[in-house]
Structure 1
Amino acid sequence: MRNSLFALFLLVAPFAAWASGGEGPELEHADIDLTDQASLQRGAKYFVNYCMGCHTLKYARYNRVAADIGITEAQLEEFLIFGDARSGELMTNSLRPEDGEKWFGTAIPDLTLVTRWRSPDWLFTYLKSYYVDDSRPYGVNNLVFPDVGMPHALADLQGVQEAVHADGGHDGGGHITGLKLVEPGTLTPEEYDNMARDITNFLTYVGEPIKLERRRLGVYVLLFLAVLGYLSYLLKKEYWKDVH
């Protein structure tokens, strides 16, 4: 029996370690709020303007997003749709997959479900964790996604960060213990954090648009089951009263 349990542990342990993310930087809490429509609207604006040139949301439609985040059809067409796309279409772009792979060395992922297969905290930390690395093709690397192929699309806003190593230096000689802003961007660190949080909030919504409604219905389902359980208990007592 003990041998069987030990074998089961050896089988499951690698998957548990993989699911926990293994070793890596501590993720910052995104502190998102899916009920904050102003944040969702800003996140949609930032995503369309800074991310959608390369990344798609191929499981989301423009008009569904507009309805959920509280903007009108006119606002959708004026601020979120560029080119010839129509409001009922999926949120894709004109970048051919083979071109993206040639330019960046890897296929460019669709981000509809990024916070489902990663997490909101992972995405929030990722957006804040670019740093200068001259060994990389685009001159930057990322703490939570080592050897990332994507350039820092928000560098002008965040500024330039350097890695701080365990020996106190910035040019190697130990593992990275943190990042230091050496060249400010057009946003203050607090403003950039808010922007990263808005993008994370929006992509968390996109990953599961029904999440708030699911939670609301879940409360009623649990209440129904509680009442049904109580009634079933009373019925059981009545049915078995002559036996007990």
Structure 2
Amino acid sequence: MKKLIKSTLLVAASLWSVATLAAGPTVPLDKAKIDLHDKASLQRGAQLFMNYCLGCHSMQYQRYNRTFKDLEIPEDLGMENLQFSGEKVGDLITNAMDSTDASKWFGTPAPDLTLVARVRGADWIYTYLRSFYADESRPFGVNNAVFPNVGMPHVLEELQGIPRQTTEQRLVDGEMKDVYVGIKTDGSGMLTTEEYDKAVNDLTNFLVYTGEPMMLEQRRIGWYVFGFLIVFLVFSVLLKREFFKDVK
């Protein structure tokens, strides 16, 4: 009985941990505009990832040549502009940072991002990358509204500028309080707010593609399967009628 109770408590604790992690952020998520048919968006997203993310985060379940082929990037052009570590075109996309160094600098190794869109969802990624704000109390001087006390720097800051939390005085429970209403930048970035949002959407689009590169092909095959099932159903009904036409 004691063993049964102990096992039950362990299972309950595990489920509670999973439920807590799955509960997601308290900040409402913005909708990402995902379009895997938009090759230009995917190419821009790949360029952003290779230039700003790959230094720390790997994509070790995706290969360069597969990415170039799916995104319609000529191999020679892709290797010249999107490959910086001397790997071959058929190699997996790995980062240059040693995991030991990452643990020392960031407290934990930077996670692989091949499947991040399947784990977190496109809306989470899109909102997360637009939710950094200046916080001098943090080691890298930034925090994140979606992922509080995040351990990574704001690598896209040169594009966005310095983002800061904005609040408004609102009546809450009978008292005037500062309420978080969003994040605004100081305008020092290379992109405007609209351009930055579009760039983040392109990067999110690319991460959705890498999470399931066969998605478009699966959908295409799926329509053929549905068509076959409909035709098969018609013939099955006609065959049934023929077999049972003399049965009273």
The interval holding the TM-score normalised by the smaller chain is 0.7 to 0.9
Say whether 1:32 aligns with 2:34: yes
Closer, same or farther in 2 for the Cα pair 1:220/1:181, shift >3 Å? Answer: same
Residue among 66, 81, 85 paired with 2:87: 85
Superposed, which structure 2 residues align to 1:91-106 within 5 Å?
Answer: 91-106=93-108
Say whether 1:220 aligns with 2:232: no
Residue among 69, 72, 85 paired with 1:70: 72
State the match for 2:116 in structure 1.
114
Residue among 44, 50, 60 paired with 1:48: 50
Residue among 176, 193, 197 paired with 1:193: 197
Shift of 1:15: 9.1
Superposed, which structure 2 residues align to 1:97-176 within 5 Å?
Answer: 97-165=99-167, 167=169, 174=178, 176=180
State the match for 1:6 in structure 2.
none
- Counting matched residue pairs gives 230
Cα distance in 2 for partners of 1:151, 1:183 equals 19
SS of corresponding position for 1:82: coil
**Residues 157-183 of structure 1: CA deviation (Å, up to 9, x unaligned):** 101122223537xxxx65533222234
SS of corresponding position for 1:167: strand
Cα distance in 2 for partners of 1:207, 1:195 equals 19
Closer, same or farther in 2 for the Cα pair 1:167/1:207, shift >3 Å? Answer: same
State the match for 2:5 in structure 1.
none
Closer, same or farther in 2 for the Cα pair 1:22/1:108, shift >3 Å? Answer: closer
What is the aligned-residue RMSD (CA, Å)? 2.4
Identity %: 50
Shift of 1:113: 0.4
Partner AA of 1:123 in structure 2: I
Partner AA of 2:169 in structure 1: D
Residue among 186, 191, 205 paired with 1:182: 186
SS of corresponding position for 1:215: helix
Unaligned 5+ residue runs, structure 2? 1-11, 171-176
Cα distance in 1 for partners of 2:141, 2:182 equals 18
Cα distance in 2 for partners of 1:241, 1:19 equals 59
Partner AA of 2:215 in structure 1: K
State the match for 1:5 in structure 2.
none
Unaligned 5+ residue runs, structure 1? 1-9
**Residues 175-222 of structure 1: CA deviation (Å, up to 9, x unaligned):** 533222234311111111111011111111111111111101111101
Partner AA of 1:121 in structure 2: D
**Residues 100-151 of structure 1: CA deviation (Å, up to 9, x unaligned):** 1110112210000011011111111111110112221111111111111010
Partner AA of 2:107 in structure 1: G
Cα distance in 2 for partners of 1:23, 1:85 equals 37
TM-score, normalised relative to structure 1: 0.86
Shift of 1:233: 2.1
Closer, same or farther in 2 for the Cα pair 1:17/1:229, shift >3 Å? Answer: farther
